[in-house]
Amino acid sequence: MRTKVLAAPPAGSGLRPIYGTGDPGVIELLRFFRNPIELVAQRRAAFGDITYIKAFGLEFAIPLTADGTESVAMNRQKALAAEPAWGFLIGPFFRRGILLMDFEEHRHHRLILQQAFNNKRLRGYLDEMQPMLRKGVERLPTGENVLVLDELKALTLDLALEIFLGMDLPRAEADRINKAFIDCVNAGMSIIRKDIPGTKWARGSPGDECSRSSSIDTCPPNARPTRPPICSRCSVTRGPTRATLSPTRTSSTT
């Protein structure tokens, strides 16, 4: 495994260089998709706790430890921005997602969502999930060729449709929307990032339309008389400054 430096640290800064292979992005991505766990172990042994890779024509610095990942994810020092990286990867499919916002804009929307996702309401929705979970588990297929990940993913997405969006849909329609969300997520890691038929990117495009049609913008405030869906709470909840989530400002709670 060859070694190249991402960039030379400024003289006298005390910073250490970040190392990687410098290999072309296609090779790096194929290695990652083939065995991501082994790749991380090899990179950490060769380059230390942080490395960089080339992908999609860009260079990404990546922490390889739990502490490093937490530091980036929590961003307690407000030194990092999420949108430049995540916006490039999944931004075209999850426009205006709160995880793609930074600094004061992110904080503004997060505080509003925290009013909707309070402890009392979440406990109520958790109670409501229990019978749905029991029925879902009872319906799980048995046998040697069951793809457990796919089954649990479908169950999770069904819960999201019912609890978050308040949609009690026919099985075929629920499957269509669930597939659209999965296509959106997978499209962000597509090596070919053009709308070419047959590619992950192209499959994510109709999924993007489907996900936006099921977003806060179109969530009916009174979708369920007994317990309104979480998204209707988000659309009417006011934050500390009396501001609300606006469809023109936030079309996805990604």
pTM comes to: 0.64
Give the pair of three-digit tokens for residue 22: 């410098």
For 24, counting Cβ atoms within 10 Å of its Cβ (0-12 exposed, 13-18 middle, 19+ buried), the class is exposed
Rounded Cα–Cα distance for residues 209 and 90 (Å): 14
**What pLDDT, on a 0 to 100 scale, did the predictor assign at position 221?**
47
**What pLDDT, on a 0 to 100 scale, did the predictor assign at position 18?**
95
Rounded Cα–Cα distance for residues 93 and 231 (Å): 19
- Which of the residues in the chain have pLDDT under 70? 167, 206-254
Rounded Cα–Cα distance for residues 238 and 244 (Å): 5
Which of 144, 172, 148, 169 lies closest to 159 in space, CA to CA? 169
Rounded Cα–Cα distance for residues 31 and 23 (Å): 11
Give the pair of three-digit tokens for residue 154: 């479908």
Rounded Cα–Cα distance for residues 219 and 228 (Å): 10
**What pLDDT, on a 0 to 100 scale, did the predictor assign at position 67?**
94
Which of 16, 249, 241, 239 lies closest to 116 in space, CA to CA? 239
Rounded Cα–Cα distance for residues 100 and 190 (Å): 19
3-state secondary structure the chain: CCCEECCCCCCCCCCCCCEECCCCHHHHHHHHHHCHHHHHHHHHHHHCCEEEEEECCEEEEEECCHHHHHHHHHCCCCCCCCHHHHHHHHCCCCCCEHHHCCHHHHHHHHHHHHHHCCHHHHHHHHHHHHHHHHHHHHCCCCCCCCCHHHHHHHHHHHHHHHHHCCCCCCHHHHHHHHHHHHHHHHHCCCCCCCCCCCCHHHHHHHHHHHHHHCCHHHCCCCCCCCCCCHHHHHHHCECCCCCECCCCCCCECC
Rounded Cα–Cα distance for residues 102 and 80 (Å): 9
